[in-house]
Chains A and B, each alone.
Chain A
Amino acid sequence: MRSLQSNKVLLDVRNLKVNYKLSGSTIRAVDGVSFTLKKGDRVAIVGESGSGKSTLGLSIIRLCPAEITGEVLLEGLDLLKLEEEEIRKMRGSEVSIIFQDPGSALNPVMRVGEQVMEVFTSHGFSKSEAYNRSLGLLKIVGIPDAGKRMGYYPHQLSGGMKQRIIIAMAIALGPRLIIADEPTSALDVTIQDQILKLIRNLSESKGLSMILITHDMGVAAEVCNYIGIMYAGRILEMGSLEDIFNNPKHPYTLSLMSCIPKGQKGVLKPLPGNVPDMSNLPEGCKFRPRCPYAQEYCRLDEPELVPIEGRLIACNRVR
């Protein structure tokens, strides 16, 4: 597997579990996820809706109101053990997040310039310093006529421009890790293409590590060099972009690939059934009810994520 910057591990997630407590039932949204992310690497977490991919992203910087257990080590520092005040300071300066809908991530009654400046002023910068840095940032993320746009309200900007503002805020304090949660799902394809290129270039030029959460395999391929396939709160397969896309091994990854239309060639082979109900998960392997290769032992034994042929796979059959 190729590594872009160095072999130094930036993020080490160990046995992360996130439980949402509802009245009477517990939703195990993330159920024992472990992975490492090296400096400068970009990993995509791909999964269908309800697979727990957003919860995974949010729980890394403790932004979800749920019971989180396990370890999230950012260069050895366990983010889950920090005091609330300490984690609040980490957000933005060490780890920042980009959300899906730029319309709801920006304050509609505040000029966008002020919103970018606020990132600086709330981390101890003076107002004039904050202004100059914000102006520079807007130029970096490709906003034309940045000085004028600083005085605009969000509704005066297009969706793509708003997402650029959000990206500017995310990189403002020079974080080491960016979590992007479906950053382009609300945008048109031509705008999506621009934003994906921007994200990729920023990550490459600044050596930023990134976790990209998406349901779109194409988006993952455009930006990332590692892919993790998530299903019902677990990672089922993880490896380099080439390995996962050119030679998928887990039955779920295989089926997911055959669900994507490839132009007029080939026939779609849809997966039977639906994404499982998270409050009522099947026994054993979570993918078993939809798996064409399921055996009796898949019911008894939940497979662990183990290394096979240069990648990680959780499947009893492949092992």
Chain B
Amino acid sequence: MEIVRGENLSKFYDVKVSTTKSSVLKAVEGVNISIRAKEVFGLVGESGSGKSTLGRLLLWLERPSSGRVLFKDLDLLKAKKKVVKEARRKMQVVFQNPDSSLDPRMKIGKILLEGLECSGYKGNCHDRIKSVVEDVGLRPDVIDMFPHHLSGGMKQRVAVARAILAEPEFIVLDEPTSALDVSVQAQILNLLTEIQKKIGLSYLFISHNLSVVSYVSNRVGVMYLGELVEIGESNEVFNNPLHPYTKLLISSVPSLYMSNKYDVSNYNVIHEGSNGVVKGCKFSPRCPYSDDLCRSKEPKLEGVGHLVSCFHVSGVTNAAR
């Protein structure tokens, strides 16, 4: 079963170059994504690749420039305001930095209560808060504390508590552990996995950290300059990457444990940046396999189960082997 689907999603921003001139930044372009019930979908890519924008589009925090978002087959663009509001209660978010996502002048109890009340929860709010605070591994007395009384890991637990209070079915986790130390990161990752299994909800897990994503995700999508270039089962993508960019990404991770390294010495190192207009495949300026076809036509995301957008997939895999 499917929880959220993005169809042909694009988001373009106008960027002012000078007082009279402006240019278009294509943050997300033509993305099709489907997130199933009870799965963790990992989204990886470098900064500026559009991961967070895609997350915000799926949450309906931002309106797409084109394309549509369906939450359990409900088209959020066409549906009535009231229905959309109802649907959005089932979607929550945890941001990277709890210092900016928690109001510094509110007590934790009030932060949690506010979210719960907005969600239209029918039961006893105080009991619900108490039990969720316990679920995320916090002591009950944090309710009377301010965010600055808590450590980074504890603050992130509050942010997680706020997200699950309203009994959502889908949570976007936007770099939820990037601001934390490794020992605390491990605590939060385990907490998130536990909650997901217990409640049976779906995550969109956005991170630039490949080891973290491969640890938590069932399926993975790889983004490059606003486009999804590869989607597949996490095992498949990390052990048998098809797109040349995914190979570069995996090989670049300095890690003790990721042994699947590919020879990437023949890749071009110059990054064109997201503002440079690239004709054809956006990765072609960096790609060692690019030819005239890649530079003139844009490949589509194709395949069954393991999808990739590259004209050279069979050639690429053969060369790498």
Question: Is B271 a contact partner of A48 (Cβ separation < 8 A)?
Answer: no
Choice from B187, B189, B208 contacting A189 with Cβ under 8 Å: B208
Question: Is A158 a contact partner of B273 (Cβ separation < 8 A)?
Answer: yes
A193 to B265, CA, bound (A): 11
Choice from A196, A215, A256 contacting B254 with Cβ under 8 Å: A196
Please indicate the chain B residues that have their CB under 8 angstroms from the CB of A247 in the complex: none
A191 to B257, CA, bound (A): 20
Question: Is A221 a contact partner of B181 (Cβ separation < 8 A)?
Answer: no
Question: Is B252 a contact partner of A268 (Cβ separation < 8 A)?
Answer: no
Question: Is A218 a contact partner of B252 (Cβ separation < 8 A)?
Answer: no
Please indicate the chain A residues that have their CB under 8 angstroms from the CB of B254 in the complex: 192-193, 196, 216, 218-219, 221-222
Closest residue of chain A to B257 (Cβ to Cβ) is: A262
Give the shortest distance, in Å, between B260 (CB) and chain A (any CB). Answer: 9
Q: Is residue A82 within 8 Å, beta carbon to beta carbon, of the partner chain?
A: no
A222 to B256, CA, bound (A): 9
Please indicate the chain A residues that have their CB under 8 angstroms from the CB of B299 in the complex: none
Stretch at the interface among A2-10, A105-113, A269-277: A269-277
Please indicate the chain A residues that have their CB under 8 angstroms from the CB of B215 in the complex: 261-264, 268
Closest residue of chain A to B189 (Cβ to Cβ) is: A268
Interface residues of A in 30-60 (CB under 8 A from B): 48-49
Give the shortest distance, in Å, between A185 (CB) and chain B (any CB). Answer: 11
Choice from B187, B208, B269 contacting A270 with Cβ under 8 Å: B187
Interface residues of B in 191-226 (CB under 8 A from A): 208, 210-212, 214-216
Interface residues of A in 176-235 (CB under 8 A from B): 188-194, 196, 215-219, 221-222
With known contacts A256-B183, A270-B187, A189–B234 Cβ distance under 8 A = no
Question: Is A189 a contact partner of B186 (Cβ separation < 8 A)?
Answer: no
A15 to B238, CA, bound (A): 45
Give the shortest distance, in Å, between A149 (CB) and chain B (any CB). Answer: 12
**Chain A 226-252 against B: per-residue CB contact (8 Å), 1 yes, 0 no?**
000000000000000000010000000
Closest residue of chain B to A188 (Cβ to Cβ) is: B46
Please indicate the chain B residues that have their CB under 8 angstroms from the CB of A222 in the complex: 254
**Chain B 232-267 against A: per-residue CB contact (8 Å), 1 yes, 0 no?**
001100100000000011011111111000000000
Question: Is A192 a contact partner of B252 (Cβ separation < 8 A)?
Answer: yes
Choice from A190, A256, A263 contacting B46 with Cβ under 8 Å: A190
Question: Is B269 a contact partner of A194 (Cβ separation < 8 A)?
Answer: yes
Q: Is residue A1 within 8 Å, beta carbon to beta carbon, of the partner chain?
A: no
Question: Is B256 a contact partner of A245 (Cβ separation < 8 A)?
Answer: yes
A216 to B252, CA, bound (A): 14
A193 to B210, CA, bound (A): 14
A263 to B216, CA, bound (A): 9
Please indicate the chain B residues that have their CB under 8 angstroms from the CB of A219 in the complex: 254
Please indicate the chain B residues that have their CB under 8 angstroms from the CB of A281 in the complex: none
Total interface residues in chain A, CB < 8 Å: 38
Please indicate the chain B residues that have their CB under 8 angstroms from the CB of A217 in the complex: 256
Give the shortest distance, in Å, between B45 (CB) and chain A (any CB). Answer: 9
Q: Is residue A63 within 8 Å, beta carbon to beta carbon, of the partner chain?
A: no
Interface centre among B181, B182, B189, B269 (most CB of A within 10 A): B182
Please indicate the chain A residues that have their CB under 8 angstroms from the CB of B256 in the complex: 217-218, 221, 245, 260
Please indicate the chain B residues that have their CB under 8 angstroms from the CB of A261 in the complex: 186, 189, 211-212, 214-216
Question: Is A274 a contact partner of B214 (Cβ separation < 8 A)?
Answer: no
A194 to B248, CA, bound (A): 11
Question: Is B182 a contact partner of A256 (Cβ separation < 8 A)?
Answer: yes
A261 to B183, CA, bound (A): 11
Please indicate the chain A residues that have their CB under 8 angstroms from the CB of B270 in the complex: 144
A219 to B186, CA, bound (A): 18
Please indicate the chain A residues that have their CB under 8 angstroms from the CB of B249 in the complex: 189-190
A228 to B225, CA, bound (A): 38
Question: Is A259 a contact partner of B186 (Cβ separation < 8 A)?
Answer: yes
Please indicate the chain A residues that have their CB under 8 angstroms from the CB of B211 in the complex: 260-263
Q: Is residue A154 within 8 Å, beta carbon to beta carbon, of the partner chain?
A: no
Question: Is B257 a contact partner of A48 (Cβ separation < 8 A)?
Answer: no
Closest residue of chain B to A184 (Cβ to Cβ) is: B254
Q: Is residue A102 within 8 Å, beta carbon to beta carbon, of the partner chain?
A: no
Q: Is residue B47 within 8 Å, beta carbon to beta carbon, of the partner chain?
A: yes
With known contacts A48-B181, A190-B252, A264-B234, A271–B186 Cβ distance under 8 A = yes
Please indicate the chain A residues that have their CB under 8 angstroms from the CB of B269 in the complex: 142, 194
Q: Is residue B131 within 8 Å, beta carbon to beta carbon, of the partner chain?
A: no
Interface centre among B46, B235, B253, B257 (most CB of A within 10 A): B257
Please indicate the chain B residues that have their CB under 8 angstroms from the CB of A92 in the complex: none
Q: Is residue B151 within 8 Å, beta carbon to beta carbon, of the partner chain?
A: yes
Question: Is A49 a contact partner of B181 (Cβ separation < 8 A)?
Answer: yes
A215 to B209, CA, bound (A): 14
A48 to B254, CA, bound (A): 18
Closest residue of chain B to A261 (Cβ to Cβ) is: B215
Interface residues of A in 262-301 (CB under 8 A from B): 262-264, 267-271, 274-275
Q: Is residue A255 within 8 Å, beta carbon to beta carbon, of the partner chain?
A: yes
- Listed in ascending order, the chain A residues whose CB lies under 8 Å from chain B are 48-49, 142, 144, 158, 160, 188-194, 196, 215-219, 221-222, 245, 255-256, 258-264, 267-271, 274-275
Please list the 7 inter-chain residue pairs (A to B) with the smallest Cβ-Cβ separation, ordered nearest first: A261-B215, A270-B186, A218-B254, A193-B252, A259-B186, A271-B183, A222-B254
- 12 residue pairs from A and B, CB less than 8 Å apart: A48-B181, A158-B273, A190-B271, A193-B254, A259-B182, A260-B186, A261-B215, A263-B257, A270-B187, A270-B190, A271-B187, A274-B184
Q: Besides the contacts A218-B253, A268-B189, what 17 more A-B pairs have beta carbons closer than 8 Å?
A: A48-B182, A49-B181, A144-B270, A189-B208, A189-B252, A190-B46, A190-B248, A196-B254, A215-B181, A218-B254, A218-B255, A255-B183, A264-B238, A270-B189, A271-B183, A274-B151, A274-B184
